[in-house]
Amino acid sequence: MKKTLIAASVILLLALAAAVVTLMMKNRDLEQEKQEMQELAELDKQEMENEYERFTLQYSEMMTQINNDSIIEQLTQEQLRTQQLLEELKRVKASDAREIARLKKELATVREVLRSYIRQVDSLNQVNQKLVAENTQVKDELAQSRSVNQGLQHERQTLKEQVAIAAQLDATGISLTPLNKRNKTAKKMKDCTTLQVNFTIARNVTATNGNRTFYVRIQTPTGQVLSAGTFPYENRQLEYSMKKVAEYTGEEITLQTYWNVNEYLEAGEYRVSIFAEGNMIGSRTFSL
Protein backbone atom coordinates (compact mmCIF):
# COMPACT_ATOMS: atom_id res chain seq x y z
CA MET A 1 0.00 0.00 0.00
CA LYS A 2 2.83 2.36 0.93
CA LYS A 3 4.65 1.65 -2.34
CA THR A 4 1.46 2.41 -4.28
CA LEU A 5 1.12 5.78 -2.55
CA ILE A 6 4.77 6.62 -3.27
CA ALA A 7 4.35 5.72 -6.96
CA ALA A 8 1.20 7.80 -7.24
CA SER A 9 2.95 10.77 -5.62
CA VAL A 10 5.87 10.53 -8.05
CA ILE A 11 3.50 10.40 -11.04
CA LEU A 12 1.58 13.41 -9.72
CA LEU A 13 4.80 15.40 -9.23
CA LEU A 14 5.97 14.57 -12.76
CA ALA A 15 2.62 15.64 -14.19
CA LEU A 16 2.76 18.93 -12.29
CA ALA A 17 6.32 19.57 -13.51
CA ALA A 18 5.29 18.90 -17.11
CA ALA A 19 2.34 21.27 -16.77
CA VAL A 20 4.58 24.04 -15.38
CA VAL A 21 7.10 23.62 -18.24
CA THR A 22 4.29 23.71 -20.83
CA LEU A 23 2.84 26.87 -19.29
CA MET A 24 6.25 28.60 -19.25
CA MET A 25 6.87 27.75 -22.93
CA LYS A 26 3.42 29.03 -23.91
CA ASN A 27 3.97 32.31 -22.06
CA ARG A 28 7.35 32.71 -23.77
CA ASP A 29 5.77 32.21 -27.22
CA LEU A 30 3.01 34.75 -26.44
CA GLU A 31 5.58 37.33 -25.35
CA GLN A 32 7.56 36.78 -28.56
CA GLU A 33 4.43 37.20 -30.70
CA LYS A 34 3.51 40.42 -28.86
CA GLN A 35 7.03 41.75 -29.45
CA GLU A 36 6.81 41.01 -33.19
CA MET A 37 3.43 42.81 -33.43
CA GLN A 38 4.91 45.81 -31.60
CA GLU A 39 7.92 45.87 -33.94
CA LEU A 40 5.71 45.89 -37.04
CA ALA A 41 3.54 48.64 -35.54
CA GLU A 42 6.67 50.70 -34.81
CA LEU A 43 7.87 50.09 -38.39
CA ASP A 44 4.52 51.26 -39.77
CA LYS A 45 4.62 54.39 -37.59
CA GLN A 46 8.21 55.17 -38.62
CA GLU A 47 7.29 54.85 -42.30
CA MET A 48 4.42 57.30 -41.79
CA GLU A 49 6.76 59.75 -40.05
CA ASN A 50 9.22 59.48 -42.94
CA GLU A 51 6.45 60.25 -45.44
CA TYR A 52 5.27 63.30 -43.48
CA GLU A 53 8.86 64.58 -43.35
CA ARG A 54 9.34 64.03 -47.10
CA PHE A 55 6.12 65.92 -47.84
CA THR A 56 7.25 68.82 -45.64
CA LEU A 57 10.54 69.05 -47.56
CA GLN A 58 8.67 68.77 -50.86
CA TYR A 59 6.65 71.89 -50.05
CA SER A 60 9.90 73.78 -49.34
CA GLU A 61 11.35 72.69 -52.69
CA MET A 62 8.23 73.75 -54.61
CA MET A 63 8.26 77.19 -52.99
CA THR A 64 11.76 77.78 -54.39
CA GLN A 65 10.56 77.03 -57.93
CA ILE A 66 7.81 79.66 -58.27
CA ASN A 67 7.34 83.41 -57.78
CA ASN A 68 3.57 83.40 -57.29
CA ASP A 69 2.91 84.90 -53.83
CA SER A 70 -0.63 83.51 -53.64
CA ILE A 71 0.47 79.93 -54.30
CA ILE A 72 3.48 80.31 -51.98
CA GLU A 73 1.10 81.33 -49.18
CA GLN A 74 -1.09 78.27 -49.87
CA LEU A 75 1.96 76.00 -49.89
CA THR A 76 3.13 77.51 -46.61
CA GLN A 77 -0.22 76.76 -44.96
CA GLU A 78 -0.21 73.16 -46.23
CA GLN A 79 3.38 72.74 -45.04
CA LEU A 80 2.44 73.96 -41.55
CA ARG A 81 -0.50 71.55 -41.48
CA THR A 82 1.77 68.68 -42.53
CA GLN A 83 4.27 69.57 -39.80
CA GLN A 84 1.46 69.69 -37.24
CA LEU A 85 0.27 66.21 -38.24
CA LEU A 86 3.86 64.95 -38.04
CA GLU A 87 4.17 66.28 -34.48
CA GLU A 88 0.88 64.58 -33.57
CA LEU A 89 2.15 61.31 -35.01
CA LYS A 90 5.42 61.52 -33.04
CA ARG A 91 3.44 61.90 -29.80
CA VAL A 92 1.18 58.92 -30.55
CA LYS A 93 2.13 55.45 -29.39
CA ALA A 94 2.43 52.82 -32.12
CA SER A 95 -0.04 50.65 -30.18
CA ASP A 96 -2.80 53.30 -30.43
CA ALA A 97 -4.50 51.73 -33.47
CA ARG A 98 -7.37 54.23 -33.64
CA GLU A 99 -5.13 57.32 -33.64
CA ILE A 100 -2.65 55.71 -36.06
CA ALA A 101 -5.54 54.93 -38.43
CA ARG A 102 -6.73 58.57 -38.24
CA LEU A 103 -3.28 59.94 -39.00
CA LYS A 104 -2.85 57.45 -41.85
CA LYS A 105 -6.10 58.75 -43.35
CA GLU A 106 -4.80 62.30 -42.93
CA LEU A 107 -1.57 61.20 -44.64
CA ALA A 108 -3.54 60.05 -47.70
CA THR A 109 -5.26 63.46 -47.81
CA VAL A 110 -1.93 65.28 -47.54
CA ARG A 111 -0.54 63.16 -50.37
CA GLU A 112 -3.50 63.99 -52.62
CA VAL A 113 -3.22 67.73 -51.87
CA LEU A 114 0.51 67.57 -52.61
CA ARG A 115 -0.20 65.92 -55.97
CA SER A 116 -2.57 68.72 -56.95
CA TYR A 117 0.07 71.35 -56.13
CA ILE A 118 2.75 69.39 -58.02
CA ARG A 119 0.57 69.52 -61.14
CA GLN A 120 -0.18 73.21 -60.60
CA VAL A 121 3.47 74.16 -60.05
CA ASP A 122 4.48 72.01 -63.02
CA SER A 123 2.02 73.91 -65.20
CA LEU A 124 3.39 77.27 -64.01
CA ASN A 125 6.94 76.10 -64.62
CA GLN A 126 6.06 75.12 -68.17
CA VAL A 127 4.64 78.60 -68.81
CA ASN A 128 7.73 80.19 -67.27
CA GLN A 129 10.00 78.00 -69.35
CA LYS A 130 8.21 79.12 -72.51
CA LEU A 131 8.64 82.78 -71.61
CA VAL A 132 12.32 82.24 -70.81
CA ALA A 133 12.81 80.48 -74.14
CA GLU A 134 11.16 83.36 -76.06
CA ASN A 135 13.28 85.93 -74.24
CA THR A 136 16.44 83.90 -74.80
CA GLN A 137 15.79 83.77 -78.54
CA VAL A 138 15.93 87.57 -78.70
CA LYS A 139 19.30 87.65 -76.92
CA ASP A 140 22.41 85.66 -77.45
CA GLU A 141 20.86 82.23 -78.19
CA LEU A 142 24.00 80.19 -77.83
CA ALA A 143 25.10 81.51 -74.41
CA GLN A 144 21.62 81.65 -72.94
CA SER A 145 20.61 78.20 -74.16
CA ARG A 146 23.40 76.62 -72.13
CA SER A 147 22.12 78.28 -68.97
CA VAL A 148 18.54 77.25 -69.72
CA ASN A 149 19.58 73.65 -70.32
CA GLN A 150 21.30 73.49 -66.96
CA GLY A 151 18.19 74.84 -65.28
CA LEU A 152 15.98 72.39 -67.13
CA GLN A 153 18.14 69.48 -66.03
CA HIS A 154 17.79 70.51 -62.40
CA GLU A 155 14.04 71.01 -62.74
CA ARG A 156 13.68 67.70 -64.57
CA GLN A 157 15.40 65.89 -61.71
CA THR A 158 13.27 67.69 -59.14
CA LEU A 159 10.05 66.97 -61.03
CA LYS A 160 11.11 63.33 -61.41
CA GLU A 161 11.34 63.03 -57.62
CA GLN A 162 7.96 64.77 -57.24
CA VAL A 163 6.31 62.44 -59.74
CA ALA A 164 7.69 59.41 -57.87
CA ILE A 165 5.83 60.56 -54.75
CA ALA A 166 2.67 61.44 -56.66
CA ALA A 167 2.70 58.09 -58.48
CA GLN A 168 2.50 56.01 -55.30
CA LEU A 169 -0.64 53.89 -55.28
CA ASP A 170 -3.33 53.94 -52.55
CA ALA A 171 -5.37 50.93 -51.43
CA THR A 172 -8.82 51.91 -50.15
CA GLY A 173 -12.03 50.13 -49.22
CA ILE A 174 -10.17 47.22 -47.62
CA SER A 175 -12.52 44.49 -46.38
CA LEU A 176 -12.03 41.10 -44.70
CA THR A 177 -14.88 38.58 -44.89
CA PRO A 178 -14.88 35.07 -43.36
CA LEU A 179 -16.75 32.62 -45.61
CA ASN A 180 -18.17 29.19 -44.82
CA LYS A 181 -18.13 26.16 -47.10
CA ARG A 182 -21.21 27.51 -48.94
CA ASN A 183 -19.38 30.79 -49.67
CA LYS A 184 -21.69 32.63 -47.30
CA THR A 185 -20.51 34.92 -44.51
CA ALA A 186 -19.50 32.73 -41.57
CA LYS A 187 -21.05 33.84 -38.30
CA LYS A 188 -18.52 31.87 -36.24
CA MET A 189 -14.81 31.49 -36.84
CA LYS A 190 -15.05 27.71 -36.41
CA ASP A 191 -17.24 27.62 -39.55
CA CYS A 192 -14.80 29.70 -41.61
CA THR A 193 -13.20 27.89 -44.55
CA THR A 194 -12.05 30.93 -46.56
CA LEU A 195 -10.93 34.48 -45.79
CA GLN A 196 -11.83 36.92 -48.58
CA VAL A 197 -9.94 40.23 -48.81
CA ASN A 198 -11.25 42.91 -51.18
CA PHE A 199 -9.58 46.25 -51.83
CA THR A 200 -9.68 49.08 -54.36
CA ILE A 201 -6.67 50.75 -55.96
CA ALA A 202 -7.57 54.42 -56.28
CA ARG A 203 -7.36 56.35 -59.55
CA ASN A 204 -3.95 57.91 -60.12
CA VAL A 205 -3.22 59.47 -63.50
CA THR A 206 0.41 60.12 -62.56
CA ALA A 207 1.20 56.41 -62.10
CA THR A 208 2.67 54.48 -65.02
CA ASN A 209 0.52 51.84 -66.71
CA GLY A 210 1.35 48.15 -66.59
CA ASN A 211 1.15 45.03 -64.47
CA ARG A 212 1.46 45.42 -60.71
CA THR A 213 1.97 42.76 -58.04
CA PHE A 214 -0.06 43.39 -54.88
CA TYR A 215 0.82 41.54 -51.68
CA VAL A 216 -1.83 40.98 -48.98
CA ARG A 217 -0.64 40.30 -45.43
CA ILE A 218 -3.07 38.96 -42.77
CA GLN A 219 -2.08 38.96 -39.10
CA THR A 220 -4.10 36.93 -36.59
CA PRO A 221 -4.97 38.19 -33.08
CA THR A 222 -1.79 36.49 -31.78
CA GLY A 223 0.40 38.33 -34.29
CA GLN A 224 0.99 35.27 -36.45
CA VAL A 225 1.06 35.91 -40.21
CA LEU A 226 -0.95 33.60 -42.46
CA SER A 227 2.06 32.95 -44.67
CA ALA A 228 2.24 31.79 -48.29
CA GLY A 229 5.70 33.19 -49.01
CA THR A 230 7.89 36.30 -48.65
CA PHE A 231 8.59 39.50 -50.59
CA PRO A 232 11.29 42.20 -50.27
CA TYR A 233 10.38 45.14 -48.03
CA GLU A 234 12.63 47.67 -46.27
CA ASN A 235 15.83 45.68 -46.96
CA ARG A 236 14.36 42.46 -45.56
CA GLN A 237 11.96 39.69 -46.45
CA LEU A 238 8.39 40.09 -45.18
CA GLU A 239 5.78 37.33 -45.11
CA TYR A 240 2.61 37.68 -47.19
CA SER A 241 -0.63 35.72 -47.23
CA MET A 242 -1.83 36.27 -50.81
CA LYS A 243 -0.57 38.08 -53.88
CA LYS A 244 -2.41 39.39 -56.91
CA VAL A 245 -1.00 40.46 -60.28
CA ALA A 246 -3.24 42.95 -62.09
CA GLU A 247 -2.90 45.43 -64.95
CA TYR A 248 -3.16 49.02 -63.76
CA THR A 249 -4.09 51.75 -66.25
CA GLY A 250 -4.36 54.66 -63.84
CA GLU A 251 -8.07 54.12 -63.34
CA GLU A 252 -9.68 52.72 -60.19
CA ILE A 253 -9.74 48.92 -59.96
CA THR A 254 -11.15 46.56 -57.33
CA LEU A 255 -9.36 43.29 -56.55
CA GLN A 256 -10.29 40.16 -54.60
CA THR A 257 -7.95 37.67 -52.92
CA TYR A 258 -8.70 34.49 -50.96
CA TRP A 259 -7.01 32.50 -48.18
CA ASN A 260 -8.04 28.85 -47.82
CA VAL A 261 -8.25 28.15 -44.09
CA ASN A 262 -6.37 25.01 -43.05
CA GLU A 263 -5.54 26.09 -39.51
CA TYR A 264 -7.38 27.05 -36.35
CA LEU A 265 -8.49 30.68 -36.37
CA GLU A 266 -9.56 32.28 -33.14
CA ALA A 267 -11.86 35.28 -32.72
CA GLY A 268 -10.26 38.68 -32.21
CA GLU A 269 -8.49 41.51 -34.05
CA TYR A 270 -7.17 40.69 -37.54
CA ARG A 271 -4.97 43.16 -39.39
CA VAL A 272 -4.86 43.34 -43.18
CA SER A 273 -2.03 45.24 -44.90
CA ILE A 274 -1.60 45.81 -48.65
CA PHE A 275 1.85 46.27 -50.24
CA ALA A 276 2.94 47.21 -53.77
CA GLU A 277 6.24 48.31 -55.30
CA GLY A 278 8.05 48.25 -51.95
CA ASN A 279 5.47 50.41 -50.16
CA MET A 280 2.65 49.68 -47.74
CA ILE A 281 -0.27 51.31 -49.57
CA GLY A 282 -3.11 50.47 -47.18
CA SER A 283 -3.87 48.83 -43.82
CA ARG A 284 -6.95 48.13 -41.73
CA THR A 285 -7.87 46.17 -38.58
CA PHE A 286 -10.98 43.98 -38.34
CA SER A 287 -12.75 42.45 -35.34
CA LEU A 288 -13.95 38.93 -36.20
Pairing of strands 269-276, 279-287: antiparallel
pLDDT digits over 62-107, tens only? 888 877 788 888 888 888 888 888 888 788 887 788 888 888 888 8
DSSP state of 208: P
pLDDT digits over 152-183, tens only? 676 666 556 656 576 789 999 999 999 999 99
Q: Are 180 and 212 a contacting pair, CB within 8 Å?
A: no
Handedness of CA 182, 185, 187, 193 (dihedral sign): positive
How far, in Å, CA of 240 to CA of 232, rounded? 10
Q: Is 74 exposed, middle or buried (CB count within 10 Å of its CB: 0-12, 13-18, 19+)?
A: middle
Residue 34 has pLDDT above 70, yes or no: no
Instruction: Report CA 129 to chain centroid distance, whole Å.
Output: 36
Ramachandran angles phi, psi of 187, nearest 5°:
-80, -25
pTM score, whole prediction = 0.48
Own/partner long-range contacts of 118-125 (Cβ < 8 Å, ≥24 apart)? 118/62, 118/159, 118/162, 118/163, 118/165, 118/166, 119/166, 119/206, 120/71, 121/62, 121/65, 121/66, 121/71, 122/159, 122/162, 124/66, 124/68, 124/71, 125/65, 125/66, 125/155, 125/159
